[in-house]
Amino acid sequence: MALDLSMPILVVDDYKTMIRIIRNLLKQLGFEDVDEASDGTEAFAKMKDRRYGLVISDWNMEPMTGYELLKHVRADTSLAKTPFIMVTAESKTENVIAAKKAGVNNYIVKPFNAQTLKGKIEAVFND
């Protein structure tokens, strides 16, 4: 399946620099429609207003973490099928397992480059 480069993507991170980095990587890959949120609460509200083709979320944020956001999204029938990639600086096995159990589609450990991001996105849409 060819990637839909026009699909809207929501990037969720409390660190503005990381949002800018991910936005630039997505732009390099050809994605133009990128929204941002600074935590899970803001992201969930945005997801209620707009249908996203993909969510790329950091794990560690306040007040709502990416992990909590993932659980909220999977519990919401209208959002449950939204592809979700978790980004984290920690590659703890128990975190990966917890995220997988909660229904994450893929997992990226920082730092990463455009090729890594592209591979993770492609893997989500080729499942």
SS3 108: strand
CATH number of domain containing 18: 3.40.50.2300
102 lies in a domain?
A: yes
Residue 85 lies in a domain: yes
Q: Does position 15 have pLDDT exceeding 80, yes or no?
A: yes
Rounded to 5°, angle at Cα 40 from 39 and 46 = 95
Please state the domain count of the chain.
1
Q: In terms of Cα–Cα distance, which of 86, 114, 95 is closest to 27?
A: 114
pLDDT in tens, 65-112: 999 999 999 999 999 999 999 999 888 889 999 999 999 999 999 999
Give me the DSSP letters along 3-69. Answer: --TTS-EEEE-S-HHHHHHHHHHHHHTT---EEEESSHHHHHHHHHHS--SEEEEES--SSS-HHHH
Tell me whether residue 127 is in a domain. Answer: no
Give a yes or no: residue 95 inside a domain.
yes
Is residue 118 situated within a structural domain? no
What pLDDT is attached to residue 2?
Answer: 65
45 found inside a domain: yes
The pLDDT of 106-121, averaged and rounded, is 96
Q: Could you tell me if residue 4 is inside a domain?
A: no
Q: Say what the pLDDT of residue 91 is.
A: 80
Beta bridge partners of residue 107, listed in sequence order: 86
pLDDT digits (tens, 9 = 90+) for 32-65: 999 999 999 999 999 999 999 999 999 999 999 9
Query: Is the pLDDT confidence value at 115 over 90?
Result: yes
In a domain, 22, yes or no: yes
Q: Do residues 66 and 40 touch, judged by C-beta distance below 8 A?
A: yes
Let me know: does 58 contact 87? Beta carbons within 8 Å: yes
Q: Is the pLDDT of residue 1 over 70?
A: no
Task: Output the average pLDDT for the chain.
Answer: 95
Domain extent at residue 39: 9-110
